[in-house]
Each structure stands twice: as structure tokens, then as C-alpha cells.
Amino acid sequence: MYCTRGFAISIYMKLLVVQTNPEFGDKKTNLESIETLVGDRKADLIILPELCTTGYQFKNKKELDSLAESTQGPTCERLAKLSARTNSHVVAGFAEKDQGRLFNSSVLVGPDGVEGTYRKVHLFYKEKSLFHEGDLGFPVFRAGDARLGMMVCFDWIFPESARTLALKGAEIIAHPANLVLPHCQRAMITRALENHVFIATANRIGAEGRESEQLVFTGQSRVVAPSGKVLADGPREAQAVLEVNIDLKEARDKHITSKNHLFDDRRKGQYEI
């Protein structure tokens, strides 16, 4: 919906951020759970967690390979049906298989199928022995009226991830996650503020102990505005759906003051990078 107020044009979108507790390896049950959580809600964009259909703690590459799919597989087909039913775009983390390579990926899905793919650039902990490093960079896609970028979980700790997406025009960063460290939710305030973008982190809950150590996921999915204001927080230990209305106008204005522009004021020649 468009609304003109002076010279500013408001462009409103509704986001659903879905916090789940997947059963390891049971893609059918996990997809059904997602569909039940979304229910009859309509939205412009639905964001699901990292590896939301398989679970996280793969024992080895053979097990991962048995659960991974291409972007043309049944998981993305089912997500396209969810997109059509809810009149939305869907962002979801999944285990991707492409020409024998395995990636921790996130897809942007519309009613007709996959419209964009991102492969996790920064692998966390034991992911390094399972997945190939992402090789697509940080692309920006169209999702309705919005320019959308994606990160996956541990990408958050590298400021270059969100900054690259913002410089390429992203207004919303969709962030599927399986967080086990306690820092990300607070850090998203800074990431949103320093780039003047909306950031929506869809985290999972629960625990997996399929190896010698048990991983406990932190929940607390979060949506943050370009101003750094927290628009919605999820619970720590329960499944949930966060419903948030945003105005893209906020992400399109990069002024800090009338004399300061977030990107124009960057002095690239002074940075030793």
C-alpha cells in the first residue's frame, strides 16, 4: 500500500517471522508444522529459520547428502505452495545440493518457485567439515516492493555481510538462523542502525544432541527497524510467529542529519581494508 505524506512515500509491508522447533531429519513433519504455525495469516514476506526442514546437527556428510535437495526439489515446491496460499514471498533456510556440492543455503520463494538463492558465506564451527563455503556472494533480490538480501546465522558477526547488502540496495535483510551463541540478537540493533535497513532474524528453539555435545538454540527471533528500534521479539523457548508491519520509506532514507548521509559520508580512502 502506498501513502503520500508531503514528499515522502510510505510503502507498507507485513512480515511474518516464524520461530520453529524442527524434528531432525523429518522434513514432512517440519513443513507441516510451519504451515500450521502460519495458519490463515496473510503477509508480504514470511521468514523461516536456518535449515528449518532438516534440523541442524548432521553426523557426517553422508547424512547431510541424504537430506539435502536442489532448489527444484520437493521442499521448495512445498514452500511455493505456502507462498501462493499466503500471498507472500517466503525466505527459508535449507540444505542445498548442487552438482555434488552441499551448501547451507537460504532461498527466496514465490508462488511459481525459487526466485533467489543465497549460500552461507561464513561457516560456523563443525559446518566447516560438512558444507562447501558459499560462492554466490551477497545478492539482492526483489520481493514485491522491497529489495531483499539474505544472511544465514553466523554471517551476522561479520559487519561486511550486512554492509555489502545495504550498499547493493537491500532494504530488508532476511536472516534465517540457528543461533547458539548469546550475542546476535543484541548485535542486530547495531547492524540495522549502521546500515539503515530492516533486519528480521528467524531463529529456532530446542536442542539437538546427536553427537557428543548438545546444542541448545536461543530462540528470541527479532525484527529491528533502521532506527535500531526493536519492533518484535520472540520467546526463548516456544514456537512463535512475529507479525510486524514496516514502512520501506524508513530504509530508503540514509540521512543521519540534514548534513550527514550514511553512505555518502564514507571515506573509503581512509580505511585500511
Beta strands in the chain (DSSP E): 2-5, 8-19, 45-47, 89-98, 101-110, 113-119, 140-143, 146-150, 172-176, 198-202, 207-208, 215-216, 222-224, 230-233, 240-247, 255-257, 260-261
Q: Is 171 a catalytic residue?
A: no
Catalytic residue among 27, 50, 115, 208: 50
Catalytic residue among 52, 69, 96, 153: 153
Catalytic residue among 27, 69, 96, 120: 120
Q: Is 50 a catalytic residue?
A: yes
Question: Which residues lie closer than 8 Å to 200 by C-beta, 6 or more apart?
Answer: 15, 17, 45, 47, 172, 173, 174, 175, 221, 222, 223, 224, 244
In 10 A of CB 202, how many CB atoms? 31
Q: Is 160 a catalytic residue?
A: no
Catalytic residue numbers read 50, 120, 153
